[in-house]
Structure 1
């Protein structure tokens, strides 16, 4: 796939003296666990704070009750972003590497953005067609209920920001940013890194059933390919954000 990107060769092709600045397979895997844990702590921390601020007893039941509220869930998802960025920054800082270069935070060309968007649209439409042919819902029922409840309770903008900005940035920095960067420089190379990082990203969405997980995985593979082709994490962040924003808006205001 390197030949598909002649103008912007991927960072995985580097002089040998720069190799120590990248976490390889196991280092990337272990730091990936730490980063995911940091994301989880940030999200749970927001719920704990809300339980405390409401004066409720600090128990699992109280946290579950608060966490069911759309505004609380939106805050939880949002607070996962700074903790994720902090953990990734620490991992890269230890390697004394550039944060921007390590994560490929380079803005893509409009041609690359258009190509990525068209591919994503075709992929989503294919899954939409399959869903309709099988008589399945195109959006998981619990997400539909959550988003419509958030709209009715005045938390629409909070949920829109959480799912269209915070979640895409957190997940892309972890999957197509940190994990892809290290694994593509290891024995997995680019194809293996795309597959494995997509699997990890799919595992993050275990609240879905097997059908939707398959859709998530295929979208992850497309994002991984575009991350490699354009050498740009911003590209996958934007694509991820557009995909989520479209789903949120359609479900909240236009869905049946």
Structure 2
């Protein structure tokens, strides 16, 4: 009669590894709230620190004064990135899927990059034409004030990094990475996930008026479609960064 060695006996009773799983609608939504809350905590921490550093009071008036400061905005946006990455890591670790695979952090072809840039230029250009025809500002008015404030603190370079690198990174990882991945594999399907994640992303920009919110929504729909067609979140991060950088340069130019 054959005998089992201790190693064979251990192998015989070990349960099979659990299969990878993707968070569906509610899991994605609930973790999404935690991700957003972590980002908010990171940004509020910077705002409170800036108030205390300037010898002010943590009050509504103090917060209103500080959040209009270009240096504070830059630091708060930068502080949101590591908080988002931390919660994403915890959430994705439970799925047993590699971090990059879950969020679609894969490369794409130069053809897709060129198509994405052309589509973005056409879309933003169309909105600029509508804005000029309606006699509106091409860029949000408060952006000019933020840029001037950042320049006064010699922090214009920091603001550019925050707007063109940090913000596109965490916003795309959240919207087109996390939300799209989970919701696209739920009953919503890819197109429902594109729409809903774009709406959530738009709501995150309530500092704008209705006109610019409509523009943000259409850009989100474009990014979501490109994420669906190419499977690459790196592409939407690149396009988002280019869009924010161009908007910063445009605002700086218009503000003189």
Q: Is the 1:148–1:251 Cα contact (8 Å) retained in structure 2?
A: no
Q: Deviations over 1:181-237 (max 9, x none)?
A: 000000111000000000000000011111111100000000001111111100000
Moved more, 42-51 or 155-164: 42-51
Cα RMSD, aligned residues only: 1.8
Q: Is the 2:19–2:96 Cα contact (8 Å) retained in structure 1?
A: no
CA distance in 2, matches of 1:242, 1:19: 38
Q: Deviations over 1:48-105 (max 9, x none)?
A: 2222333433334323322221101110111011101111111111222210000010
Q: Is the 1:172–1:236 Cα contact (8 Å) retained in structure 2?
A: yes
Q: TM-score, normalised by structure 2?
A: 0.89
| Residue matched to 1:161 | 161
| Residue matched to 2:79 | 79
CA distance in 1, matches of 2:21, 2:30: 16
CA distance in 1, matches of 2:19, 2:207: 37
Q: TM-score, normalised by structure 1?
A: 0.89
CA distance in 2, matches of 1:39, 1:57: 23
Q: Any residues of structure 2 matched to 1:45-194 within 5 Å, and which?
A: 45-194=45-194
CA distance in 2, matches of 1:226, 1:129: 24
| Residue matched to 2:21 | 21
Name which structure has the greater RCO, CA cutoff 8 Å, separation 6+: 1
Unaligned runs of 5+ in 2: 1-17
Q: Secondary structure at the match of 1:187?
A: coil
Unaligned runs of 5+ in 1: 1-17
The structure having more radius of gyration, on CA atoms, is 2
- Count of aligned pairs between the two proteins: 240
CA distance in 2, matches of 1:210, 1:20: 41
